[in-house]
A and B are shown apart, each in its own frame.
Chain A
Amino acid sequence: MSVLLDVKNLRVDLPTENGMLHAVRGIDFQVRRGEMLCLVGESGCGKSMTSLALMGLLPRKAICTADRMAFDGVELLGLPDKKLNQLRGQRMSMIFQEPMTSLNPAYTLGNQLCEAMLEKPGVTRAEARERAIYLLHRTGIGNAEDRLRQYPHQLSGGLRQRVMIAMALMCGPDLIIADEPTTALDVTIQAQILRMIRELQREFGTAVVFITHDLGVVSRIADRVAVMYAGQVVETTDVAQLFAAPRHPYTRGLLNCIPVRGKTLPGSKLQAIPGVVPSLVGDVGGCVFRNRCSLADAACEQEPPMVNTAAGDKIHYARCHKVTAADAMQLSEVAA
């Protein structure tokens, strides 16, 4: 599979009253064609800023730099707006978290669905309408033709998110960035929507960057996972490897603190990660997880290296000085 999106050393800084907030601090990742990459992390880890940077939707005062941020060979940073608009909506599109606020209340669904496709030269209204009806139907919305005349407020949250997904697929994009698309929905709706995203993604061969904080969702939907913490990718590998043998102490902590049936005894103490995420305002140096990590020592004051911990040609990167020590801890846990 060829690389569709190549990001190297992406940094996003936001000036605030108290100093510079380093929201994203040099992250690298690649998305191949037709693959589902999950960016997972807690609030404030920079996952949403990363997605906004990719789409060129950062707040105006934000400072975004990268060694490379290429979509299918086209460098996105510094691309004139006109060129960028030819990519956005056509070849890369986005699904936002809030289906309640991301549709325009003043226009009908038909209007909004067809808008991006009509920008393409040579597309007629009838063609756009036909595609809209087809996609609404595929996203599981009944009587699609009537829906095109409806306004967003006439739809429930689950339906609105289906419309957003249909809209993202209108122009047959190569890449979809989905920023927490199911967080605002109920669990049963969430399962349906995730299943649909996965099916359509496989059918159309679309690459998806799926941003979430929910490890349950990640375990079921991802091909590859990048775990983010405090503006960095701290671990990245394929999904089976990540859940079977997490290397970074943060990933491990995250997995340990979720109650899982059959593993955690009900009513027993959960293994919480002590402390809180450090502030990213001002100078941030060394391993950012060291204040919450049981393995941390003086060496962790230095910026940790991103090491490949997998044998052979497999890839399993972890940003940690203590990867070997962390492995020893895991082994002793298994023995105990």
Chain B
Amino acid sequence: MNMIDIGAVAQAPSASSGSDIALELCALSKVYALKRGMFKAPGEIKAVNDVSLRLYRGETLGLVGESGCGKSTLAKMLLGLLEPTAGNVLINGQEVDPTSRKDNARHIQPIFQDPYSSLNPRKTVAEIVGLPLKLHRIGTSAEQQQSVRKILDLVGMPERTYGQYPNQLSGGQRQRVAIARALILQPDILICDEPTSALDVSVQAQILNLLLDLKAEFGLTYLFISHDLGVVEHLVDRVAVMHKGSIVELETREKIFSDAQHPYTRMLLASALTPEPGLGIPELAVSG
């Protein structure tokens, strides 16, 4: 009996407090039909091909891969924005029904890449963040306002911005608003789809710090989608490498970055240009 316990603990990632599963994808696939002309048989694109993944509670799973590999399609299926062709998604053991997005939204929330297009330009910051509470009819109007203030304060938005519109904010501030909106329903899981790739590096650090703080405070589970391996290494517990719709390697951070097995992972790692002042030799990447 004891030995089985040890085995179970070893399989769970070190950072998770328990071994329970927050999000599970079972053989998830998405196939797009491709019209090839009047007289040709339609083709198929397997955007996501038989992906199975488990996110343990409290862990950060990094999903890396190049554009077109299916990362964003996968994220949309997790959020119930896209119906999978095959397979299913379980949130806290419950199967996700794509027709009841409102229920899913309580548990799983997105932060998108582009803070310029993911906020409604005609609503104020407070309205944007408060909308989920209104939709879900949580609390009285006064209570809603109070929680909006609390969450905006938490993500570091100054009070004068509450009545402003998104076009009056900087890129970093917009992303903070998007994070506040994602958190206001107190979800367990955040799907972060390239949350900092549209931001400048000096602002990126602020947002990454915020994500780390929020995770510690609320015990959140992150699926962190990114192509920036430096950021991924800093933030995640485990890494899933996606290539042409399939997961080609899934390992702990230490293993992936020190001892990657799959040739595609190795190629990704080799092509990441880290600014290494100690070396400072530009020939490194040129020959590498």
Contacts and interface: CB of A to CB of B under 8 A. Distances in A.
Interface of A: 42-43, 186-188, 190-192, 194-195, 198-199, 213-223, 239-240, 243-244, 246, 253-255, 257-261, 264, 266-267, 269-274, 276
Interface in B121-177: 170, 172
A218 B276 CA distance: 10
Contacts, number: 130
Given A260-B230, A273-B202, A244 B209 contact: no
A266 B234 contact: yes
Interface string B252-288: 0100010000000001101111111111111111101
Contacts of B267: 188
Contact of B277 (A244, A259, A261, A269): A244
Contact of A43 (B200, B229, B279): B200
B204 interface: yes
Contacts of A222: 282
B203 interface: yes
A257 B206 CA distance: 9
Given A42-B200, A258-B201, A187 B286 contact: no
Contact of B201 (A42, A194, A221, A244): A42
Contacts of B253: 266
A213 B200 contact: yes
B277 to A, nearest CB: 3
Contacts of B85: none
B205 A257 contact: yes
Given A216-B272, A219-B275, A270-B205, 20 more contacts: A42-B201, A42-B202, A187-B66, A194-B286, A214-B273, A219-B274, A219-B280, A221-B282, A222-B282, A239-B280, A243-B278, A254-B202, A258-B205, A259-B231, A261-B274, A270-B208, A272-B206, A273-B202, A273-B205, A274-B206
Given A198-B286, A219-B280, A260 B275 contact: yes
Contacts of A276: 170, 172, 203
B263 to A, nearest CB: 12
10 contacts: A191-B271, A194-B286, A198-B286, A216-B272, A221-B286, A243-B275, A243-B276, A259-B208, A270-B208, A274-B206
A299 to B, nearest CB: 23
Contact of B227 (A186, A259, A261): A186
Nearest to B208: A270
A220 B272 contact: no
B233 interface: yes
A62 to B, nearest CB: 23
Contacts of A253: 202
B272 A270 contact: no
Given A257-B202, A266-B235, A276-B172, A187 B280 contact: no
7 closest Cβ pairs, A-B complex:
A243-B277, A216-B273, A257-B205, A259-B234, A272-B205, A191-B271, A220-B285
